[in-house]
């Protein structure tokens, strides 16, 4: 929860995919904090994806419920743009001409990624990339490129271009949503609470548990 560009309430869980058990608890605690301190709720921001299908569904459903119940706008921010915020805030050593490639781990050597400049202007739209040595050569040949996010670690040994740099410990945290949400609100870029859907990038494919796949029943 942020007020005047400052985080005033924060809850973080790094134990894994716990949206189903922790998201509702954290939201209730945040709303209780706001009410106990007489802080008005002006808008709700949600990370729109790409990312985990289940996590996105739970998060968006929760955000919709709060926005609808409180009668406030709903703002959706790109998860990949969100990953760029702590890089801009805390890494002063990055040159002005650098390019950002935030990565979300998909499967095997696949990542969800986009390319941005330092002003977060998208230079290449979000795609599902199969990472090979030359996947980002177009960008690496023109400027320093910084890779980060939970998909970047598995690419370090594959992308060995001298312009490739890897940042560790960059996560899409809710506390970094404020600059993106404030920018969207200033442009009146809100989403429809009833009809907004997360950006999955790929269709959800349900699979059977392994024990059922080998069952004779």
Domain CATH code at residue 72: 3.30.420.40
**Are 54 and 115 part of one and the same domain?**
no
Looking at the domain assignment, is residue 214 inside a domain?
no
Q: Using CA atoms, how far apart are residues 132 and 56, in angstroms rounded to an integer?
A: 28
**Are 41 and 74 part of one and the same domain?**
yes
Find, among 169, 5, 167, 23, the residue nearest to 98 by Cα. Answer: 167
Number of domains composing the chain: 2
Looking at the domain assignment, is residue 132 inside a domain?
yes
Q: Using CA atoms, how far apart are residues 12 and 126, in angstroms rounded to an integer?
A: 26
Looking at the domain assignment, is residue 216 inside a domain?
no
The predicted model scores a pTM of 0.88
Helix (H) or strand (E) holding 6: strand 6-7
Q: What is the CATH number of the domain that holds 105?
A: 3.30.420
- Provide the CA 163 distance to its chain's centre, in angstroms: 25
Q: Which residue segment(s) compose the domain that 31 sits in?
A: 2-78+173-203
**Are 22 and 73 part of one and the same domain?**
yes
In eight-state DSSP terms, residue 19 is I
- Sign of the C-alpha dihedral computed for residues 131, 137, 138 and 139 taken in this order: positive
User: Where are any strands of DSSP class E within 40-154?
Assistant: 44-47, 74-77, 99-105, 110-116, 122-130, 145-148
**Are 132 and 68 part of one and the same domain?**
no
- The rounded average pLDDT for each run of 10 residues, N- to C-terminus, in the chain (217 residues) is 88 73 88 93 95 90 96 97 97 96 93 97 96 97 98 95 97 94 96 95 54 42
Q: Using CA atoms, how far apart are residues 101 and 81, in angstroms rounded to an integer?
A: 10
Q: Are 189 and 74 in contact (CB under 8 A)?
A: no
Phi, psi of 48 (to 5 degrees): -90, -10
**Are 144 and 177 part of one and the same domain?**
no
What pLDDT is attached to residue 192?
Answer: 97
Looking at the domain assignment, is residue 213 inside a domain?
no
**Are 117 and 97 part of one and the same domain?**
yes
Helices and strands (H, E) in the chain, number of each type = 6, 9
**Are 100 and 157 part of one and the same domain?**
yes
Looking at the domain assignment, is residue 126 inside a domain?
yes
What pLDDT is attached to residue 216?
Answer: 39
**Are 71 and 134 part of one and the same domain?**
no
Looking at the domain assignment, is residue 70 inside a domain?
yes
**Are 114 and 179 part of one and the same domain?**
no
Looking at the domain assignment, is residue 84 inside a domain?
no
**Are 123 and 18 part of one and the same domain?**
no
**Are 99 and 137 part of one and the same domain?**
yes
What pLDDT is attached to residue 108?
Answer: 87
What pLDDT is attached to residue 17?
Answer: 67
In eight-state DSSP terms, residue 191 is B
């Amino acid at each position: 929860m942020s007020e005047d560009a400052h985080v005033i309430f924060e809850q973080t869980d790094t134990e894994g995919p716990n949206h189903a058990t922790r998201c509702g608890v954290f939201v209730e605690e945040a709303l209780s904090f706001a009410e106990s301190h007489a802080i008005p709720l002006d808008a709700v921001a949600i990370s729109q994806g790409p990312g985990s299908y289940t996590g996105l569904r739970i998060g968006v459903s929760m955000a919709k419920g709060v926005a609808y119940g409180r009668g406030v706008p709903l703002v959706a921010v790109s998860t990949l743009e969100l990953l760029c915020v702590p890089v801009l805030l805390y890494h002063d050593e990055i040159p002005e001409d650098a390019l950002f490639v935030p990565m979300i781990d998909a499967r095997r050597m696949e990542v969800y990624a986009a390319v941005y400049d330092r002003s977060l202007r998208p230079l290449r739209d979000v795609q599902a990339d199969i990472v090979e040595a030359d996947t980002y050569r177009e960008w690496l040949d023109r400027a320093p490129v910084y890779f980060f996010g939970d998909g970047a670690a598995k690419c370090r040994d594959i992308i060995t271009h001298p312009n490739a740099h890897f940042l560790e410990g960059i996560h899409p945290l809710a506390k970094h949503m404020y600059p993106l949400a404030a920018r969207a609100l200033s442009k009146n870029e809100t989403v429809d609470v009833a009809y907004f859907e997360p950006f999955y990038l790929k269709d959800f494919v349900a699979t059977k548990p392994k024990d059922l796949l080998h069952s004779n029943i």
